[in-house]
Structure formats: structure tokens, C-alpha cells
Amino acid sequence: MQSMIHARLKVTRNDFKLDVDLQLPGRGISALFGHSGSGKTTCLRCLAGLERASDAYIEVNGQVWQDSRRNHFIAPHLRPIGYVFQEASLFPHLTVQGNLTFGWRRIPAQSRKVSLDQACELLGIEHLLNRKPATLSGGEAQRVGIARALLSSPQLLLMDEPLAALDGPRKREILPYLERLHAELEIPLIYVSHAQDEVARLADHLVLLDQGNVQASGPIAATLARLDLPLAQGDDAGVIIEGLVSSYDSHYQLLGLQLPGSTLELRLAHAPLALGTPLRLKVQARDVSLSLAEDASSSILNRLPVTVSGHQAADNSAHVLVSLDAAGSVLLARITRYSADQLGLHGGQQLIAQIKSVALLG
């Protein structure tokens, strides 16, 4: 992985200590994930220069933004970033258009990569231009906030829990726009969140923060599937599988998704999609059961041959977490310890994984 963002930060504040060394990819969405108080927002604020860590080295795209050893610190307004706050934080004295062009007007014309029209179209806010922020709904305001950050043509986009202040329907209103950004933008985005579903939907790279330390950092699918991390322990544990649409059965209305690098296919009930469309699925560990032999009498749609690659006691002693290799893709299964003993579970064992349901993300 070619690292484009390097941030080594040490912050000590009252009873909180942050000590991280982040290497993040120069493209795609990197999620900083952790409980409140884990230091994820502080990391983001240090990257933006809104907070000045006493001991820090920050380098983005080959430019050093902070090097405390040389007492070098670039002020936030000189960093080519876009920042989306948890609350939209629009300027109340300006119209939506005034807000959108605030950063845009402050960069040289030749540096402008996004036009007002493009940003409005991307976030669906064309009709709001003449409104005052006070008249917008929470979801609309946050879309304006995101577009405003984009219009400053940043080289790095930072988002601090942009959906946390919104209710469920508003969240679902914005997520598709974030996915569009992901698909259409070339610039890296660092996304702070404590919501696992958002991270699973959006992120390519996952950094797990715990009490000011990096617990894990890696590609999302591999990191979510790691048995040694608390993510795999929860009831919500599961893996992400990215694949391409490979078939469509119009009679049964089943969409086939080919697992990367294999001939295995997962099927789900869905409207037809063009062959080759990339899709991201979540498979929950609790929805995967294991059997020794192919059981054609079952109603379960997806049955894949897998090899046991590891197992570990779950957060309670009645369950076992099993990691499985399905022709290169990783699956997690959460089964009872009783069943594990009945199967004679061991590493390298060939089993059939029966997947009760798969969820399409986005």
C-alpha cells in the first residue's frame, strides 16, 4: 500500500492521552472508528490544524503540515483541506449560495476543481441556493456543508461524524450522496464515526481507535474479519464482501454476485442490475451456520464450500467465532460451542457455510 497520509500525533490533555501513528492510503475512504473518547475527533482536528498537538508529524501528499521537532506548523487556512463538522455549521448570515462559495472564492481560479453546478448536482441542493440556513432541514444543511467543503477543492476531505446529529431517515437521505462522493471523487476522505453500519457501507480502510491508541489499521474487509479485535466479538460482527454482479435469474429474481478472484457466487433477491456492477454486501456472523456436508434439503439459498482458518471463543462462553476462507474471501460464523464440538471444529477443516441472509450495503 502506498501511503499518502502520515500522521504521528501525541496529545496529552488532563486525563486523556492520544498517541497514534497513522499511515492512511492516499485515496478512498478511511474510517477512524471507535467509541467516544477514543481520540478520533482529536486526530481529525490535528490533521486540519484546528488543534495543535504538542508532538506531531503530519505529512499529506508529500507536503509536511506539521513537524513539531522543527517547530513547523501550517495554519489551518493554508492547508488544502475540506472539513465537514458534526453539525452543518453553516454561516447564518449568508445564503446557501454564499456559504457554498465562501471557500471557493478564496482559492485561485486555476485551483478550482469543482464548480458550483457540479457540487450542487452531486449533493442535490440546486433548489436551495437562495435559502437562508435557518430554513433548511438538518439533512439539507449537512448536504450544503459537504458541498461547501468540496467547493474549496481540497486535497484531503475530513468528515467528523457528519451523520451523528441526524435522525434515521435523514441519515438514509445523506448516505447515498456520500457513496456517490466515494465513487466519483479522486481525493482521499477521512471519515470519523462510531456507527459500524456507516463504516461498513462507506469505508475502504479502517482504523480502530481505543483510548487514544490505534488498535488496528487495515483494509476494511480484512480488519472486520479479524478474530482478535473486539469488532468480531459483538452481536453485530460480520464481514464485508465486495464483488461484481455476475448473473441474474429473472424467473426467481435472484441476483448473482461473484466473489472476487473465484467462481463462487452469492445470490440475493433483488431487482436486476447490469452485469459487472460492483456491489458491497455485509454477511453477519450470526447468519452463517456450518455443516459437514452439502444439505440440498435446506431452504437456505447460499451454501459455499469453505475452509476453517481460525476460531476463537466469543464474548460469551456459549459461542465460538469461526473465521472461514471461501476461495479467498473471508467469512465469519458465530456458532454455539456445542455445535463446534459436534462438528469437531479444527483449523483446515472443509465445511459448508450456509448463509441465511446477506445485506446489500447501499
Partner 1 sequence: MPLDASDLGAIWLTFKLASLTTLILLLVGTPIAWWLARTRSWLRGPVGAVVALPLVLPPTVIGFYLLLALGPNGWIGQTTEALGLGTVVFSFTGLVIGSVIYSMPFVVQPLQNAFTAIGERPLEVAATLRASPWDCFVHVVLPLARPGFITASILGFAHTVGEFGVVLMIGGNIPDKTRVVSVQIFDHVEAMEYQQAHWLAGAMLVFSFLVLLALYSSRRGKSAWS
Which residues make up the interface to partner 1 (CB under 8 A)? Answer: 48-50, 75-78, 81-83, 85, 87, 89, 91-93, 102-103, 106-107, 133-134, 148-149, 152
Given the complex with partner 1, which of 100 and 288 has the nearer CB atom? Answer: 100
Q: How far is the CB of 102 from partner 1 (least distance, A)?
A: 5
Residue 261's alpha-carbon distances to 65, 93, 257, 264, 280, in angstroms, are 40, 54, 12, 9, 15
Phi, psi at 117, each rounded to 5°: -60, -45
Q: Which helix (H) or strand (E) holds 139?
A: helix 138-150
Q: Which is nearer to partner 1, 158 or 308 (CB)?
A: 158
Query: Of 61 and 111, which CB lies nearer to partner 1 in the complex structure?
Result: 111
Please, which residue, 70 or 93, has the CB nearer to partner 1? Answer: 93
Nearer to partner 1, 46 or 200 (CB): 46
Taking the least distance from each CB to partner 1, the nearer of 88 and 240 is 88
> Minimum Å distance from CB 159 to partner 1?
11
Nearest distance, CB of residue 71 and partner 1, angstroms: 20
Q: How far is the CB of 202 from partner 1 (least distance, A)?
A: 21
In which element (H, E) is residue 336 found? Answer: strand 329-336
Length of the chain: 362
The distance of closest approach from Cβ of residue 149 to partner 1 in the complex, given in angstroms and rounded to an integer, is 7
The least CB distance from residue 103 to partner 1, in Å, is: 3
Three-class DSSP category at 109: helix
> What is the amino acid identity at position 285?
A
Q: How far is the CB of 304 from partner 1 (least distance, A)?
A: 46
| C-alpha span between 339 and 337 (Å, rounded) | 5
For partner 1, the closer CB: 147 or 332: 147
DSSP conformation letters of 161-184: STTTTS-HHHHHHHHHHHHHHHHH
DSSP for 270-316 reads: -----TT-EEEEEEEGGGEEEESS--TTS--SEEEEEEEEEEEE-SS
3-class SS at 322? Answer: strand
User: Residue 47's closest CA among 56, 36, 35, 38?
Assistant: 56
Contact 319, 334 (CB under 8 A): yes
